[in-house]
Every structure is written in structure tokens, then in C-alpha cells.
Amino acid sequence: MGELERPERLQIMLSPEELRALENWRYDKRMPSRSAAVRELLRRGLLADGFLSAEQGIKSQDFGILSADRDVLPGKDALPEKD
């Protein structure tokens, strides 16, 4: 068997609503797989202006993709308005 192009695996836990949002985005963008959709969303997020890092002590459960305060990381203020 040949060497994998992407040998690293990343497992994430999603709520049913988060998975539904991912699948809807995936189908809307015609992504070939969930993995491709997640990689594209990660790529877009890492390229975005205003990248924020989490403060020390923040738990994984504090980060969701379908919260009312999507533009706010736990322990941080809201992102400034873009001009």
C-alpha cells in the first residue's frame, strides 16, 4: 500500500446542528467530501483577517460553530467592525 498523501488524522466532535450546517455548506459548495469541506473551512479561517487566539484555560466545549456570538471567542471582545 502506498504512502498516504495526508497521513495525519484529526477527529472532531460536532452537535447534530453543527454537522447539519457543515453538510449544508458542503453540498452548497459542491465539496466532494466532509474532509474536503473541513479543510476548505480551515483554510478560509486561517486566511481570514483578524485571526484571534484563545486565552489560556478556555475549554474545547466553549468553541462552537453555531453560537449567537460567532464573532466572539470566549474571553475576548467582539471583533471590530470592518470598514
How high is the pLDDT of residue 13?
92
Q: Identify the CA nearest to 41 among candidates 29, 58, 50.
A: 29
- Looking at every residue in the chain, the average pLDDT score rounds to 76
Task: Quote the CA–CA distance of 78 and 15 in Å, as a whole number.
Answer: 24
pLDDT band at 34 (very low <50, low <70, confident <90, very high): very high
Distance CA 37, CA 26 (A): 6
pLDDT (tens digit per residue) in 6-25? 788 889 999 999 999 999 99
The predicted model scores a pTM of 0.61
pLDDT at 42 over 70: yes
